[in-house]
Structure 1
Amino acid sequence: MSKTPVHPGAILRTQFMERYSLSASALAIRLHVPAPRVNDIVRERRGISPDSALRLARFFRTTAQYWMDLQTAYDLSLAQALAGEQIVREVLPVAADANEPAIAA
């Protein structure tokens, strides 16, 4: 996979925090979370948890699902880049006829 995945922290930083001129510390205070949590997210060292997604959604008037979708897309993109080809080689799909095994014994 050649496309580099975008970390949700980069989106938080560029599309939300910069727009509202918020530092990581200021956002952490507004979200009622420890400053290292926000700092680690925007430095792309930590993912967005469901708790963070709920807080970000409330503060920025988005949805928690938006933040979780960003995280899931990022995680899946990384997994594809790291193990996708190996999984394609190792895992055979179920046969078209569910009663038939995918591999003849």
Structure 2
Amino acid sequence: MHRNGMRPIHPGEVLNKEFMEPLGMTVIGLACPRTGPREIEKLVKCQLRICADLAISLATHLDTTPEFWMNLQSTYDLRRAQLRHAGL
């Protein structure tokens, strides 16, 4: 297995550091009827996985694509699995 030495980065961390902080957004500001503030807060705290519906909601609000968010989640999941299999 190829190891890049980087820790797995949760999509919620990317959301917070790359979008919310630079744009001055809050959990309340990003919430919408389909994605409430609790869901956004859990995501930012890395306690929630990105699902397809959440990916679509984030993409709509942040001018990205749902695939961007789904790819972040799958990369995170794969990296964690690789570390588990390597015994790290």
Query: RCO greater where, 1 or 2, for CA within 8 Å and sep 6 or more?
Result: 2
Identity value in percent: 32
Greater alpha carbon shift after TM alignment, 7-16 vs 17-26: 17-26
Output the aligned Cα RMSD.
Answer: 1.6
Shift of 1:35: 1.2
| Off by >3 Å, runs of 4+ in structure 1 | none
1:73 pairs, out of 50, 72, 75, with 75
Bigger Rg, structure 1 or 2: 1
Once the two structures are superposed, residues 53-93 of structure 1 have per-residue CA deviations (whole angstroms, 9 ceiling, x without a partner) of 0011111111100000000000000011112x47xxxxxxx
1:41 alignment partner, one of 40, 43, 49: 43
Q: Quote how far apart the aligned CAs of 1:8 are.
A: 0.5
Which of residues 20, 38, 44 is equivalent to 2:23?
20
CA distance in 1, matches of 2:34, 2:68: 20
Q: TM-score, normalised by structure 1?
A: 0.73
Alignment pair present for 1:59 and 2:61 = yes
How far 1:18 moved relative to its partner?
Answer: 0.9
Structure 2 residues without counterparts, runs of 5 or longer: none
Match of residue 10, structure 1, among 2, 8, 13: 13
